[in-house]
Structure 1
């Protein structure tokens, strides 16, 4: 046990060690040039963790490993639960049926497409394919983190998925404003997008919340309704992570049973309870019983805990484990990116026209 009398000191030292890295990542992410790139502390944290894992890992006491593992597992689940304070059910209602359907369609299709393409077309193993797909389908690095406990995947697989999310999410952040100003804004017919339509498109297809916020802000003279639609649709995708994880847990258990693999402990988790608690916290937040300034503080603490979890996962990522993967993750992520950009545009236009 990590907090047994014999291991308690080492575990606490490991947690404190991760917290120092997370604090540094938070400081770096707050620098103006880094903010302009839309990089969250979570991304900075995993990069720092990976650097540590491949350079200084052997210089720290082995006893600290318990604290690092605790940060990447237990603190992660706690942080995902309190991520619910970022969402209210009223926000989902505000976006309307068209925004909700775009979120639902893009999440479901991207998750299925990415998982299938990764395993069947490009030969990746299931965990990495699902993690990469969940990051693209829902909310980037936070979704990868939330999916990892359900799969019980190794740290390096999580790192691969996060790296794909960062790469293509960053490309999206620069591509979408160009698409809008050069094509969608001035085109006629099906290619034309109103500010609200483009906001729904952005929120329904871009990876990270920070990147969704950055896109409307980088378009000169963009109306407020574009930013509002983008953020609300994005947060609708975020709350869908809970039912997605529950369905994923049921699917894994069903698959294991059909394959006669009931002894595989990896598949025994059917309901990820932290996802259920996440919905409960979001529901509580929807009642507005807690003052907004307190909620803001909770969200800041939660971001720090998520950064700790991401940093700890990075610390378990050794480059030697990447051997043999080849370019399959890039091919899989590129396929999903193409679907998000092109398919997402078509889905948004069709859904908005119907509703």
Structure 2
């Protein structure tokens, strides 16, 4: 009589190959991101992982076995959600309180304004579909690639649209690393004010750290607090998107993105529970690995032909949003700080 494999063994057999490939690429991304050359360019593990994944997917093409698909899907969905939840350990309510009312207002206006401009201009001016415009706007408005991935879990777009959004926010966020320190002497902001400006307008957390550190410790501290407070706004954005998706699909039940509430719960844990430094460091390293694995899986399933079909319009939208963040954010800081 044939033996029936146990449930965990059968799941591992089906999901294992693709999951192992994504984890290997994610791990390679983590290692490469720590090398001096990439560190100087502030290329994070998520960016490196999706690039390697795209190389594997496009060079392998039809030769990649179909058995990889279930594991890659698991990485893109469930590991991504776990990574977004653990991302909340990077922020505390004390950080938000330290930013002050004016700082929170700057963050809120930047996030809301960028999302609104991205959706409106993306569709009206550049003729983009809703998903591409929304993903690009979310990455610019909140926290770069991590926000793109979180929104992807709610709206479920094609992989090529996600990859294009990630590429655009990485491109202009990297440009900000060089532009912002060069602008600092000419903006008339003190160190804390410039930190608020950088944290409220630069795309990725790592890029914010790079900009702030180029000026000094006070600027770096203010920039990180402003940036992480902006990251917290991912929660209401995801909840609003879940509600809108339910309305668009004609359903009466709101599809609550529970991982967003998990993110908020981790912020609460980080605020109220004394998590040992070693444990927190391990969890944050695991979080980066989970997100890098998800990004690698996304890259493997992204074909360059799909990106070419999107054309240059998403990049033009990202450039417009970068200009709005740089100029509009500065004016907001001068007005409200």
Same fold (TM over 0.5): yes
Select the residue among 203, 218, 230 that pairs with 1:207: 203
Q: Residue 77 of structure 2 aligns with which residue?
A: 73
SS at match of 1:82: helix
Q: Deviations over 1:200-237 (max 9, x none)?
A: 00000000000000012223xx3x22111100000001
Select the residue among 39, 51, 55 that pairs with 2:43: 39
Residue 308 in structure 1 maps to residue 293 in structure 2: yes
Residue 243 in structure 1 maps to residue 236 in structure 2: yes
- Which structure's residues are more often helix, by fraction? 2
Aligned equivalents of 1:60, 1:248: Cα separation in 2:
34
Root mean square deviation of aligned Cα: 1.6
Single out whichever of 80-89 and 55-64 deviates more from structure 2. 55-64
Aligned equivalents of 2:218, 2:307: Cα separation in 1:
43
Report the CA distance between 1:271 and its aligned residue.
1.6
Q: 1:7, 1:63 within 8 Å by CA — same for their partners in 2?
A: no
Aligned equivalents of 1:49, 1:34: Cα separation in 2:
17
Please show how residues 76-225 of structure 1 align to structure 2 within 5 Å. Answer: 76-181=80-185, 183-184=186-187, 192-219=188-215, 222=216, 224-225=217-218
Report the CA distance between 1:76 and its aligned residue.
0.4
Runs of at least 5 residues in structure 1 that lack an aligned partner in the other structure: 185-191
Select the residue among 25, 31, 34 that pairs with 1:30: 34
Distance 1:44 1:268, change over 3 A: farther
Aligned equivalents of 2:238, 2:269: Cα separation in 1:
20
Q: 2:213, 2:219 within 8 Å by CA — same for their partners in 1?
A: no
Q: 1:246, 1:275 within 8 Å by CA — same for their partners in 2?
A: yes
Residue 326 in structure 1 maps to residue 311 in structure 2: yes
Residue 262 in structure 1 maps to residue 255 in structure 2: no
Runs of at least 5 residues in structure 2 that lack an aligned partner in the other structure: 1-6
Q: 2:119, 2:133 within 8 Å by CA — same for their partners in 1?
A: yes
Q: Deviations over 1:7-29 (max 9, x none)?
A: 64141121111111111111100
Q: Residue 232 of structure 1 aligns with which residue?
A: 225
TM-score by length of 1: 0.90
TM-score by length of 2: 0.94
Q: Residue 3 of structure 2 aligns with which residue?
A: none
Report the CA distance between 1:85 and its aligned residue.
0.9
Report the CA distance between 1:325 and its aligned residue.
2.2
